[in-house]
Amino acid sequence: MMKRTKYLKITDIEKALDLWYEKIDIFADKYISSENIRVKDAYFKTLSKPVYSKRNIPPFSTSAFDGIAVRAQSTYSAREVSPIILELERDFLYINTGDKLLGQFNAVIMIENVEEIDNNHVRIRKGISIGDNVRTIGEDIHKGDVVFYNGEYLTPEHISLLIAAGIRNIDVKRKLKLVFIPTGDEITNDINEKSKILESNSSIVEGYILKWGGEIDIHDCIKDNENNIKRVIEKSLEKYDAIIVGAGSSHGSKDYTSSILNDIGELIVHGTNIRPGKPVILGSVKEKLFIGLPGYPYACDINLKIFIGEIFKRIYNYRENNIIYARLINKVSSKIGEKHYYNTNIIYNKGEFLAYPVKTGSSNLYNGINSTGYFIIDTRDEGMEEGEEVIVFTDKTSYEIKKNLLFVGSNDPLIGELGNKLFEKHRIKMFISNKGSMGGIYAMQKSKCHISGMHLFDPLSETYNISFIKKYLGGKGILLHLANRSQGIIVKKGNPLNIRSIKDIKMKKARYINRQNGAGTRLMFDYLLQESDIKVSDINGYDNVVSKHIDAGYMVKEGFADATIAIKLIADMLDLDFIPIFIENYDLYFSNNFKRDDRFYKIIDILKEDGFGENIIIGGYDTRSIGEIIYEG
């Protein structure tokens, strides 16, 4: 009687995948190298290093609409009942969408709000603010920003953005090379052989491997002879990354695949609890991947997509279409008669998927690429309310989405670097929403995010952040220290107005660019004004705001403002002058529940790595206590 192979053990599919992921990771670390190629040759490849932008996008401030470019200050007095008249070239220039803003002009009035009097004069009935209807320099991406993380799968949209960011060559992961070895006395490659079954499973295997971006060779059919099959497998290991054996994976008397694998490598799975497709074999030889697929076509197809498909998803971040039902975090608006495609990120918090809408616009490709997906607002609706359920079209799986993190709070370049490392090491995508320190606290109050960043000064205790946690978050939560940062006044190179203090901003009527309500920098500026006995109405431009330090710096660099308060790093990056004013604490806040999440400890490990952030920090940072828990309540 011929010997029959028994299943080693029927393994639960989830357990089988976990074991398989371990083997994939070991293989990838050892064998998958990088290659440097032209960006235009990188369609559907996967980055092996993060990519940093070499240019601002847009590279200069441009008009967002057709209209007239003006000095915002000259429009402030315009009213419906008392319009003002502007003169061509002296007060305004005609401008088209995408045109660069020139010289003295710092805002755009849309053409539909302009009344033409004659060839040289127009009438306006409403004033505007600095930056209105303008796409500011670096609005999508700033020079030096992480464009894409290590491990990003590159679609045509990614390639377009890389080219716009000034990238010409990138490092990508080399292709996976596989071989399919069909076995069995009953199959043949000879179309004229009438007494046997034509081998056709190779067509399924080849088609999907090519679709997923791999290279595949198909071996001739091998009869059921253990020594011959073993010899072909051992020879193939010299050339290929992964061996796929067709048939021979069950427990028949001529099913040799499991015994061969036990002999030359490590068998980790022989049979799972899926149907059809139970008799699958998984393992490795010399840390190269080994898969035994069932001979029946549909069972072969199912296991191919599950286990070999996971190789490409795990190593190359390959994507397929999916839909997720999620609840809106924020209200969104639309117009009746328009079908609105809204970009959104999705996170998983307290047992449900939450959709966090992001800025959507014709010019903003970056947000579209980096969002989880999109939902659609129908032509009959004026928008959707917070809490409504939406159907999100995405190429992410629910497993991936459950790993996502949402950061809401104050802006800092180290947050972007943390996001890069989380994705590179753990495939955790961290979305970043710069809403200011208080914006982060409000999001935490409503469980709308996982992490918040803050630098809130309390004049009474002369401490940072803790008193705000006690006041707004019931004293509960964890503060993790990130850095001490130097903040001060940023002015143009050479300091043409000779600004040395907060009082000089008032006395010299400097055009100031502020930060949004709730930003830690704005709250500190308000405190400094109060200490100097200066009214906010005395500051020229107090109500002109941006949301990030880098945007404030560029407003000075581009001549839209004379001064701002921001971190020293921005002055160093943009070659601007810096007058130091204060040193502040910047900390990360987490809920107590998050301490039970393994992502919390992954974050701490990354922050404490030697050299974390060295590639982006130039000056003005003290990170000696980075990653230390400084408060727990």
Question: Which residues touch 26 (CB under 8 Å, ≥6 apart)?
Answer: 284, 287
Q: Which two tokens stand for residue 564?
A: 């701002």
Q: What letter represents residue 629's amino acid?
A: I
109 conformational bin, left if phi > 0, alpha if psi -120 to 50, beta if neither: beta
Q: In the block, which residue shows the tokens 């999100």?
A: 392
Identify the CATH number of the domain defined by range 423-428+438-632. Answer: 3.40.190.10
Q: Which two tokens stand for residue 286?
A: 């010399």
Q: What letter represents residue 357's amino acid?
A: P
Helices 13-31/309-316 angle, 10° precision? 50
CB 441 within 8 A of CB 451: no
Beta strands in 350-460 (DSSP E): 352-357, 373-377, 383-384, 389-394, 405-409, 430-434, 452-454, 457-458
The CATH homologous superfamily of the domain defined by 34-57+140-173: Molybdopterin biosynthesis moea protein, domain 2 (3.90.105.10)
CATH of 62-135, one of 2.10.50.10, 2.170.190.11, 3.90.1720.10, 3.40.50.720: 2.170.190.11
Whole-structure pTM value: 0.78
Q: Per-domain residue ranges for the chain?
A: 13-33+175-316, 34-57+140-173, 62-135, 322-402, 423-428+438-632
CB 447 within 8 A of CB 349: yes
Q: Distances in Å between the alpha carbon of 618 and those of 51, 119, 145? A: 19, 51, 14
Spatial CA neighbour of 204 closest among 180, 231, 235, 170: 180
CB 248 within 8 A of CB 296: no
The three-state DSSP-derived secondary structure of 287-338 is CEEEEEECCCHHHHHHHHHHHHHHHHHHHHCCCCCEEEEEEECCCEECCCCC
d(CA 468, CA 633): 13
Residue 89: what pLDDT? 92
Q: In the block, which residue shows the tokens 């403002």?
A: 561
Residue 1: what pLDDT? 38
Identify the CATH number of the domain defined by range 13-33+175-316. Answer: 3.40.980.10
Q: In the block, which residue shows the tokens 């949004």?
A: 516
The answer to whether 13-33+175-316 and 423-428+438-632 have equal CATH topology is no
CB 24 within 8 A of CB 314: yes
What class has domain 322-402?
mainly beta
* Weakly modelled stretches of the chain, pLDDT under 50: 1-4, 7
Residue 4: what pLDDT? 46
